[in-house]
Structure 1
C-alpha cells in the first residue's frame, strides 16, 4: 500500500485481529499491532471533561477509543515514520486492495498537484488521508478528482448516509475530494510533516468522539483532509446484532460471546469482495440487509 507502516489499533487479540491478520495474509499486506497502554479510568474521565460544560463531551467508550487513537498516532511520531496508515482492528478491504491503492495514489497526486519529482506515492500535501469511513454530509460543489476503478461496488448495493451521492456517480468511479464531514475512523493515513496539526486539533477533546472531532477539523479547515468516495475500507460486522466494544463502553448494549462472533460469517458493507470473508470462509460475504 506504499506506506512506511500500517499500524493496527487494537487492545487485545480477538476475532477482530485474527480475521484482520487472515485478510492481510491473503492480500500480502504487512501489519504491525503495537501494544496499547492501559489508560487509567482517571485519565479517561479527565479527558471526557476537557472544555466548558456547553460543548459536547465523549461518553466513556468513545473517550477510551479516542485516547487509543491518540496513543497510536504518538507511537507513529515517536517511531519517526514518514507515513503511517492507521486502521481499526475490525476493518475489512477488497481482495484487490493493492490495485485499488495504485489507482488512488495517482488520483491523490493529481488532486493535490504533487510534482513528478516527488517520489512519494501520495505526496505530502495533506494532514489526513481518509480511506475508511461510513460517509456523512458532503459537498457536491467541492473540487474533486474523478477516476475509474473497476472494483467499485454497484451503487444500488451501497448502504449509509452517502447512498444518494454514490448512486449519482458514474459506474465504476471514485472521487477524491477534501473531507466534507465524514464519520467513522476505520482507516486514515498521517505523515510526519503535518502530524502535529492532527495531534494539536484532536488532542483537545470537546466532541462526541475522535472521528467527529476529525470531521469538525476537516469542515473548519483546521486540518487538511483528503478523502475518497466511496470508501476503500469499512468495518466487518460478525452478526446483524453485533455490539462493538465502544458502544458497549458507552452503555449501548452488550457484546456477544467471542466464540459466537468468530464462528459465524458476517458482513462488510460497501466492499465488493471482502478479504476477510475470502480468507476465513473462502466465499463472498452476504450482502448487507436491505441491499438485495
Structure 2
C-alpha cells in the first residue's frame, strides 16, 4: 500500500529530472531565419560533432591548391599549417611573369589594374589551368597568405558540406551536384548585403561552436549578422551577393573553363582593379551560380602584401582589413599561429594529435584576450 502510494510521485520526479536534463543539453531554437529559403527550421536536439566524419585531406575536393610564387617566404608556414591540420596542399609551379606578360594581360584602353594585381590575377589563371590539366573534378584555390581554424577539416568543412547538400538538394558528391554551383566561396573578406536582399537569397543557417565569439569578429561581419537577426554561434550559407576577395574559392571543371575563357582571361576593356573584383562581377552581374559561407572559413594573415610589394607600397582599396587584431580576422584558433610553429618532428607529432585531431587550441587564451580590442 505504501509502495503504491509513492510510485506516482517517484515517477513524476524522474520525469521532471529527465525533462530538465533534456532542456539543459539542448541548444536554443536554432535560427531566427528560415533554414532554407521558404522553409521553417526544425527544433535541434543539440550539436553532436561525433556524428561528423572529418573531411579528407583535400577537404572533399579533388585538390587543395595554393597560389604562390617560387621561393615565397610564406610557403613554409602555409605548408606547416596544412601538415598540422591534416590538409594536403599542392603548390603548382608558377612562371615568373615578365613585363611582356603583364602588358599583354592589361586592357588596351583605360586599364585600371596595377602591376601587382595583374601578377596576382595571372597566378589565379595559372592555378585554373593546372586544375584543368589534371583529372580532378573540383578544386579549392587558396592564396598563400590565408589562415584557417584548427577545426577546419574536422568540424567546419563537414558542417558546410552537409548544409550545402541540403541547400542545393543534392548528395551526388561531397559538394553536391556539380551542375548546381560554379563558385563556392569558403574564404573571402566580406559578402555584405541588406535585410531585403537576405530574404531574396537562397540560404540556410546552422550552428557551429567553433566560430569566433561575435564580439571578437570584424565589425562589419558582426553588424551583418546582427542586422539579419542571426543567433550567436551560427554560420550562414547563401547564394553570393557581393563576395569580395578570393582567399579560398572552389570551382568545378565547367566553371573553371568558363572563368578562363569567358569571365577573366585578361583585364576587361574599360579596366578592372583586380581578379577578385572581376569574379565578384560574374557572381553579381552575370548570374554565375556562386555561394558563400559567412562568416568565412579562410581569411588572410597579417603579413606584407605581395601586391603592395609589387606596387612599391600601394595597395587596392575596398577590402575589410585587419584593424590591430593580433590573431587572424574572424578565425577563432589560428592554424598559422606562431605559437604552434616548430621544426621538431616529435613536437609536430604531438601538435598534430592535440590540435589537428583532438581540436585543442593550445594558445594561452588569457594572453590572446589581452591583445584583442573590445
Q: Does 1:71 align with 2:126?
A: yes
Unaligned 5+ runs, structure 2: 1-58, 316-324, 343-361
Aligned equivalents of 1:109, 1:21: Cα separation in 2: 29
Asked if the contact 1:133/1:182 (under 8 Å) is kept, the reply is yes
Asked if the contact 1:85/1:188 (under 8 Å) is kept, the reply is yes
Q: Does 1:205 align with 2:260?
A: no
Aligned equivalents of 1:75, 1:6: Cα separation in 2: 12
Q: Does 1:250 align with 2:311?
A: yes
Aligned residues: 273
Asked if the contact 1:135/1:182 (under 8 Å) is kept, the reply is yes
Matches within 5 A, 1:1-292: 1-50=59-108, 52-53=109-110, 57-98=112-153, 99-114=155-170, 116=171, 118-124=172-178, 125-138=180-193, 139-141=197-199, 142-159=201-218, 161-168=220-227, 169-199=230-260, 200-206=262-268, 207-238=272-303, 243-253=304-314, 267-277=327-337, 279-280=340-341, 283=363, 286=368, 291-292=373-374
Unaligned 5+ runs, structure 1: 255-264
Aligned equivalents of 2:98, 2:139: Cα separation in 1: 27
Asked if the contact 1:7/1:84 (under 8 Å) is kept, the reply is yes
Structure number with higher strand proportion = 1
- The two structures have a TM-score, normalised by structure 1, of 0.86
Equivalent position SS for 1:49: coil
Distance 1:158 1:5, change over 3 A: same
Distance 1:87 1:193, change over 3 A: same
Report the aligned-residue RMSD: 2.4
The structural deviation recorded for 1:122 is 3.8
The structural deviation recorded for 1:269 is 0.9
Aligned equivalents of 1:147, 1:74: Cα separation in 2: 35
Asked if the contact 1:61/1:249 (under 8 Å) is kept, the reply is yes
The structure with the larger Rg is: 2
Further displaced range: 213-222 or 87-96: 213-222
Distance 1:46 1:195, change over 3 A: same
Name the counterpart of 1:259. none
Distance 1:67 1:23, change over 3 A: same
The structural deviation recorded for 1:172 is 1.1
Aligned equivalents of 2:100, 2:192: Cα separation in 1: 35
Aligned equivalents of 2:85, 2:211: Cα separation in 1: 18
The structural deviation recorded for 1:284 is 6.2
Distance 1:155 1:18, change over 3 A: same
Structure number with higher helix proportion = 2
Equivalent position SS for 2:140: strand
Asked if the contact 1:155/1:167 (under 8 Å) is kept, the reply is no
Summarize deviations over 1:64-109 as a string: whole Å, max 9, x none: 1001101111110111310111101111100000110000001111
Equivalent position SS for 1:198: helix
